[in-house]
Amino acid sequence: MPLPLDLHGIPELRVMRQLAEALVYEGLVDCAVSQGGGKSRFEWRCDGGAIRCEGSIGAFGRVRVVAETIERGCDDQWRPATLGDLLASIDTCPERRAQLTSELDRTLDFSAWNERNLRPRPRRDLPFAQLDSAIDEGHPYHPCFKARTGFDYADHAAYGPEAGNAFQLAWLAVAPERLHSAFPTDEQAFWMHELGAETCALLNERRARLGDNARRFGLMPLHPWQWKALQDSELSRWLAEGSAGFLGQAGDRYT
């Protein structure tokens, strides 16, 4: 669902608007500001030309840009700006520009996925937990409001709160020499309070199946995406040598 000032189904305009606002507000471009007709006009140099747009300046100097007014000009010829035009106006190294471009592209991709796959639904009467999941607009200022670095479409559908799919945490048992932990109270009492007797018993039973040595291993919860992403890391060696063991998924379901 778009924010009130954004057009439904056109996430590119929202990303461009929020990027332009951030560039001006954060002082990342040398912007000239003029006032007239109740509007603020912003203009800055860009690769032999200029970028201009209209909007307003609100509380705490917060810049609000009208997305449809963002233009790229050269030799007094103006046209609607592209996301690439805005990126080209940033004075930064190629590596950082490439990283920002990737995060903006992912934001566009996941926003488009939401438009294709999620139907708008009434939210006014939802209880807090469901409302928190249903609010899918993302950050109203940050231009990379749905970058979700490392996620593919399947991850976005499985773990993105707007899709509303529930998941459990994955659990590891890890040898104490591999694990740094600190608890506000006795370790067993802590897990009993956090997880409840049933989940604690289940994890202890699974840990015991790893062998007598594993009884001294500590518990480590992981988001299921982390468990998948760490398969080719040092963790794979720990699992192979027996200094860590996978206990499966358990506990509360999160959305």
Mean of pLDDT values over 20-31: 95
CB 159 within 8 A of CB 137: no
Shared-domain flag, residues 62 and 105 = no
Does residue 4 belong to any structural domain of this protein?
no
Q: What pLDDT score does 1 carry?
A: 52
Shared-domain flag, residues 146 and 195 = no
Give the Cα separation of 91 and 29 in Å (integer).
8
Torsion of Cα atoms, 184 then 190 then 193 then 198, to 10°: 170
Does residue 2 belong to any structural domain of this protein?
no
Shared-domain flag, residues 132 and 61 = no
Alpha helices in the chain (DSSP H): 11-25, 83-88, 94-117, 128-134, 153-159, 187-195, 197-208, 224-229, 234-241
Shortest CA distance to 43 belongs to which of 61, 14, 69?
69
Higher-confidence residue: 186 or 140?
Answer: 186
CB 207 within 8 A of CB 159: no
Shared-domain flag, residues 158 and 222 = no
Question: Where among 72, 88, 104 does a domain terminate?
Answer: 88
Confidence band (pLDDT; 50, 70, 90) for 11?
confident
Q: What pLDDT score does 47 carry?
A: 84
Mean pLDDT in the chain? 91
Question: Where among 163, 179, 206 does a domain terminate?
Answer: 163
CB 49 within 8 A of CB 92: no
Shared-domain flag, residues 69 and 19 = yes
Which residue type is seen at 225? Answer: W
Shared-domain flag, residues 28 and 73 = yes
Does residue 3 belong to any structural domain of this protein?
no
Shared-domain flag, residues 69 and 110 = no
Question: Where among 88, 106, 123 does a domain terminate?
Answer: 88
Here the tokens at position 116 are 């294709």
Pairing of strands 39-46, 32-36: antiparallel
Shared-domain flag, residues 216 and 178 = yes
Q: What is the pLDDT of residues 68-82, one digit of tens each?
A: 999 999 988 999 999
Shortest CA distance to 45 belongs to which of 57, 28, 62?
28
Here the tokens at position 51 are 């970028």
Cβ neighbour number for residue 161 with a 10 Å cutoff = 13
Number of domains the chain is built from:
3
What 3-state DSSP class applies to 222? strand
Shared-domain flag, residues 176 and 244 = yes
| Residue 128 confidence (pLDDT) above 70 | yes
Q: For residue 133, what are the domain limits?
A: 94-163
Shared-domain flag, residues 82 and 112 = no
Shortest CA distance to 116 belongs to which of 147, 149, 153?
153
Does residue 172 belong to any structural domain of this protein?
yes
Does residue 1 belong to any structural domain of this protein?
no
